[in-house]
Chains A and B, each alone.
Chain A
Amino acid sequence: MTLDAAPRLDVDRLLDDPGTRIIVCCGAGGVGKTTTAAALGVRAAERGRKTVVLTIDPARRLAQSMGIASLDNVPRRVEGILAGGRPDGDEPDGDRSAGDGSAGEAPDGEGPDGDRTDEDGTGRGGSAGGRDRDRRPGGELHAMMLDMKRTFDEIVVAHADAERARAILENPFYQSLSAGFAGTQEYMAMEKLGQLRARDEWDLIIVDTPPSRSALDFLDAPKRLGSFLDGKFIRVLMAPAKVGGRAGMKFLNAGMSVMTGTLSKLMGGQLLRDVQTFVAAMDTMFGGFRTRADATYRLLQAPGTAFLVVAAPERDALREAAYFVERLAAEDMPLAGLVLNRVHGSGAAGLSAERALGAAETLESENLENARIVDQGDGETASRAAESLGDGAPAGDSPAAGGGPDEAAPREDEDESAGNRPDSSGNGQDGPHGQDGPARRATADRLAAGLLRLHAERMQVLGREQHNRDRFTALHPEVPVAEVSALPGDVHDLAGLRAIGERLAADGSTPGAA
């Protein structure tokens, strides 16, 4: 309903479009940016595109999942990419539209519906074989990890003569700068992107962005460099240091000498000399730096570039995503859409958290009474379940169920109206299982109460996620969204990345997915 107001991001169309040459994945830290970039890479390659993924700082497992534990500064081919047997290539949209409809009705649907859960719940394992029709031959996947220092060194070597290059590489200031003070990463990521694009060996470059202070740092990096190079400060730095009143000082105007004097006092004469030597040695290269920084910036604005903002359905991540969307618009950078990772769903979305909790409480209080009648011999499992139920349900938690989520969550069954509430009526009648012994019934009650509490927890998560997402959609209704349902564990291999790619490309509105 409300959430469907956001248009769906058609990931496959984006990947298949030969006009798409660069995809930049950006967003806050911890939202699955790198995983998304890798999954898109696998999918693009298997759909026939010659793809390279530039990762910045992949978790070890993720690098291993692409079979490239030793990722380095050079693109390495990823083995195990599947090309389809059928090169004819169906229309990416054609055969999926039928599925969209059925999944789309879930939010306002009838509630529990047995078969809806089947297609999604088991998606973690069984995906590898089934989607051959989506694959096309001719694709390749290459992956690399940005090595800041080496990238910087390469630039120096490529753009300075041998002697000057050596002077720069041996300069202590350069060594620390290039070894990775925060921020260098952003310059080098953009530099590397420019290099990859210039080589023109790939149809599609997918870039992950650095885990910056702010997700926007990499956008600012080239500009910042430019403004520095235009500034007066660099000229001050280029002036000789004030060392014991050398003759050269006479030729500096008074302002300059105060400046260098101040700098010398601040930094210590030796550091200032190191910086000056560095700046002098880099001098001839700076022009090249700026030209390339500007070119990369323009490249990011070009029609072949698509930005994907990656987020999880959490408040902070989506707030940052919204900020990013606004910023991209201000910079004339082409936004393709929002990838929303780790979205939860429920096969029983019609049963609200409040009602599930109420029902669980009814069963538990009934159970307490029964426990007085029945002796203790009805099984450890249930009693353990009942124990942890006690912990899980402090009185203080319940109000939360009625708090934040309630405007978003409840999708009540229409045939379960207030008249049928679980108060006392349920206790009296025997129900369909009246013939069971009271002990067995107590066990079933506890199990059912546990299931209901889990469901209530899930529905609270759903409610919160939807609230956050609605907020984003209200601010940016024009941004297409692709949702990726939550996986229980981490990705360990290509099959895992492939499964994520399928979830990315599948219809976004799948609250039935889990």
Chain B
Amino acid sequence: MSRLHVVSGKGGTGKTTVAAALALALAEEGRRSLLVEVEGRQGIAQLFETEALPYEERKIAVAPGGGEVFALAIDAERALLDYLQMFYKLGGAGRALKKLGAIDFATTIAPGLRDVLLTGKACEAVRRKRKDGRPVYDHVVMDAPPTGRITRFLNVNDEVAGLARIGPIHNQAQAVMRVLKSPETAVHLVTLLEEMPVQETVDGVAELRAAGLPVGGIFINMVRPEILDEEALARAGGTERAAVAGALSRAGVGGARRGGRAERLVGPLLEQAGEHVERVRLESAQRKEIAGLGLPSRELELLSGGADLAGLYRLAKDIRKQGIPEAAA
């Protein structure tokens, strides 16, 4: 069973929302999940309508059935100092390093190290145990960098292990890679049924697979129902046009006059329906493309009220109903 769920996706596909809903879904039946943010955007706080998250794990939501969702916004600099403290008992030296600008260097100038820290912290949360030996968190969900960067981001420890061929950094990097490449991890990609995000998803899956990272499932987000099909549109715009105008009129939106507002309403409405049909057609092509990946996919409805707290719980319920995708063994 996957315990670390990494959620990526092209910008604008709603990966933060999906990650949050997934964390809620995973927290069912008294379980505890940790939702981790690595890009310093405070998107989680906004989603859960709380103040900005500190670098500290805190409970932000209770899932139906009594489970809990904790959240953590990882700050690379604090994570580095943590590490120095945890592994090397370097409290004072850490401060001195900071004064020198070494911490700055590590977290910004040498940005690869930043990714090491972010992935390292998430893996630490996965491995952390309570006194009785059970894990502190049943699941960790990471709101990860976008698809274009995800493979490099997750693989950074491989690169570091190659650079630092011995020593603590080497060992740490290898330990992180062992978690990331194990079936304990599942990398999910969020997409919309649009050409560019789907293309990016297909490319992303290929990259992840080539790097030996475990791909979980595809979340197709913001799916809208098909309301009218092509044939219906043709009828509404053809033989039934006058009758449709009559119906609009009877429903009270066009006035009762013949040739009145209802007639004039039909044109714009048909045009919108035409766009709808066109969109549905493009979407079905994209669905095929996704199906070709041979991965479990989950469809999540468009939240008509925007991604607010209520919508988040609805998505979580939906994910639970459809099942949480796992990485193929």
Contact = CB atoms under 8 A, between A and B. Distances in A.
B169 A271 contact: yes
A355 interface: yes
B149 interface: yes
Given A404-B305, A440-B243, A514-B272, A416 B252 contact: yes
Nearest to B171: A268
A279 to B, nearest CB: 10
Contacts of A121: 271, 274-275
Nearest to A175: B163
Question: For chain B, what secondary structure do more than half of its interface residues adopt (helix, strand, loop), or is it mixed?
Answer: helix
B141 to A, nearest CB: 18
Contact of B12 (A29, A177, A416): A29
Contacts of B149: 182, 211
A431 B255 CA distance: 10
Given A363-B247, A451-B228, A348 B43 contact: no
A164 interface: no
Contact of A454 (B13, B145, B269): B269
A469 interface: no
Contacts of B246: 431-433, 436, 441, 444
A259 B102 CA distance: 10
A454 B276 contact: yes
A112 B255 contact: no
Interface string B196-215: 11011000000000000000
A509 interface: no
B272 A346 contact: yes
A247 interface: no
A488 B279 CA distance: 6
A232 B167 contact: no
A126 interface: no
B235 A381 contact: yes
Contacts of B164: 267-268, 270-271
A401 interface: yes
B112 A448 contact: no
Contacts of B236: 447-448, 450-451
B305 A454 contact: no
B97 A113 contact: no
B52 interface: no
A443 B163 contact: no
Contact of A112 (B11, B261, B282, B307): B261
Interface in A243-272: 255, 258-259, 262-263, 265-271
Report which residue of B100, B197, B229 has the largest number of chain A beta carbons within 10 angstroms of its beta carbon.
Answer: B100
24 contacts: A30-B12, A177-B112, A182-B111, A182-B112, A183-B114, A214-B39, A228-B108, A263-B102, A266-B88, A267-B169, A269-B167, A270-B164, A316-B43, A351-B265, A362-B251, A381-B231, A400-B304, A429-B256, A440-B243, A445-B247, A447-B240, A447-B247, A454-B276, A488-B278
A348 B279 CA distance: 19
B296 interface: no
Interface string B232-258: 100110001011111111111101101
Interface string A291-333: 0000000000000000000001011110100000000000000
Contacts of B197: 30
B166 interface: yes
Given A444-B244, A454-B273, A227 B232 contact: no
Interface stretch (A8-16, A198-206, A457-465): A457-465
